[in-house]
Amino acid sequence: MGAGFGAGLGLALASSAFIGGSFVLKKKGLLRLCGRGRARAGQGGHAYLREWLWWAGLLCMGVGEAANFAAYAFAPATLVTPLGALSVLVSAVLSSIFLNERLNVHGKIGCILSILGSTVMVIHAPQEEEVSSLESMAEKLKDPGFIVFAVCVLVSSLLLIFVAGPRYGQSNVLVYVLVCSAIGSLSVSCVKGLGIALKELFSGKPILKEPLAWVLLVCLVICISIQINYLNKALDIFNTSVVTPIYYVLFTTAVMMCSAILFKEWQHMVLDNVIGSISGFLTIVSGIFLLHAFRDMPFTPNLLPLFLQPGRADPQPPWSSADRHQSCQHQPLLPSEDKGTQSTEEEEEEEEEEEEEK
C-alpha cells in the first residue's frame, strides 16, 4: 500500500468521524435552544445561528466534506464512497452517549442493511467518464437527459417544500430529508465542476474569466444553503439516529443517479454489476423500511420465546422425547381448567337433586 493510498484512507476515515460528529453537535445545539424557549428550526426559527454548538457542528461537517473531497485525489472511489457509511455508525454511537437516543433492534438491523446495500451498490457501480476541462463539463451539462433530471429535481423539491412540508413535515422524516438529498445531488455535480476548475486554475489557465465557474459556485452556495436549512428542520423534529442513516441512503442514491445521467456511467455495465446494483438497492429499501416502520416499537425480553427469556427457561425443552412421542390421541379433549369447571358444575347439580328429593 503506497503513501497516497494510505493518505486517502486516512482522509476518508477522518471525514466519516467529522461528519458523524457534526450531526450530534448540531442536534445538541438545537436542544439547548429548545430548552431556552427559542423558536425551533422545525417551526421556521433561525435562532440556531447564534448557538456556538451549531456552528461547531457546521464546521465539523465542512472539514469532513473537505477531507472527503480530498480523499478522492489519493484513493479510488470504490474505497472512499463506502467509507462514508461509517459516519452513520459514528453518529449513532455518539447520539447514544451524548443525546440519550436509543435504537431498537429493528432500527439497528435497518442501519446495517442500509450500509450494506449502499456499499454493494458502490462496489458494483461502473467508473465515470473522464472529464478534464470545463469545456467538456459544459457539454455534459447541456445533455438533454441531465436537463430533464435537473428540472425533475427542482420541481419535486418545490412540491416537497411548499405542499408536503406544511402537511407532513412534522410527522414524516422523509419530507425534509428528500429535499436535502435531491438538492444534494446537484450540489455534488457543482463540486465536481469546481474541482475541475481548480485543477485548471493551478495549471495556469484563466479560469476566473470563465462564466461557467462562477455559475457553478453560485449554484453550489444556493444548494448548500437549502440543504442546511432543511437538514436542521429534520434534526430538530426527529432523532439523529433516524435522520442520519436515511439521509445517507437517499443522498447516496440521488448522487449515483445524477452521476449516472451526467457522466454516462451505466452504458458499459456487465451483468454482474447490474445484478449487484439492483440487489444493493433492494437491500437499502429493506433497511429503510425496518428503520422507519418499526422505530417506535419497543423490543423487550417478553417478546422472546419462553425458552429464550432470562429466568424463565423451561428445564425440559419442548423437543424432549416425552413430548415428541406423545400422540394427539392421548391428549385430553378439554384443558385442565375446563375439566375443573365441569366437575364443579356436576357436583352442584347433584346437590340440587338431593335437596329436591328431601
For residue 5, give the C-alpha cell.
493510498
Give the per-residue pLDDT at 333. Answer: 46
Alpha-carbon distance 297 to 318, whole Å? 29
pLDDT at 77 over 60: no
Alpha-carbon distance 352 to 126, whole Å? 89
Provide φ and ψ at 300, rounded to 5°.
Answer: -115, 165
Alpha-carbon distance 86 to 118, whole Å? 11
Give the C-alpha distances (Å, rounded to integers) separating 288 from 82, 247, 260, 314. 17, 10, 23, 37
CB 19 within 8 A of CB 61: yes
pLDDT at 223 over 80: yes
Alpha-carbon distance 338 to 282, whole Å? 51
Average predicted confidence (pLDDT) for the chain? 75
- pLDDT more than 90, % of the chain: 10
Q: Count of residues for the chain?
A: 358
CB 51 within 8 A of CB 33: yes
CB 95 within 8 A of CB 241: yes
pLDDT at 206 over 60: yes
User: What tens digit of pLDDT does each residue of 335-348 get?
Assistant: 444 445 555 555 66
Of 343 and 33, the one with more pLDDT: 33
208 CB-contact burial (10 Å; exposed 0-12 / middle 13-18 / buried 19+)? exposed
Strands (E), 131-189: none
Helical packing angle, 211-237 and 134-141, nearest 10°: 60
Of 75 and 22, the one with more pLDDT: 22
- Cα 12–Cα 18–Cα 21 angle in degrees, nearest 5: 140
What confidence tier does 329 reach under pLDDT thresholds 50, 70, 90? very low
Highest mean pLDDT among 105-119, 145-159, 176-190, 258-272: 145-159
pLDDT at 229 over 80: yes
User: What tens digit of pLDDT does each residue of 255-293 get?
Assistant: 778 877 887 766 777 888 878 877 877 887 787 777 666
- Cα 207–Cα 212–Cα 216 angle in degrees, nearest 5: 105
Q: Among residues 107, 111, 103, 97, which one has the least CA distance to residue 28?
A: 97
Alpha-carbon distance 97 to 260, whole Å? 39
**Average pLDDT of span 190-196:** 77
Q: Among residues 345, 279, 301, which one has the least CA distance to residue 122?
A: 279
pLDDT at 182 over 80: yes
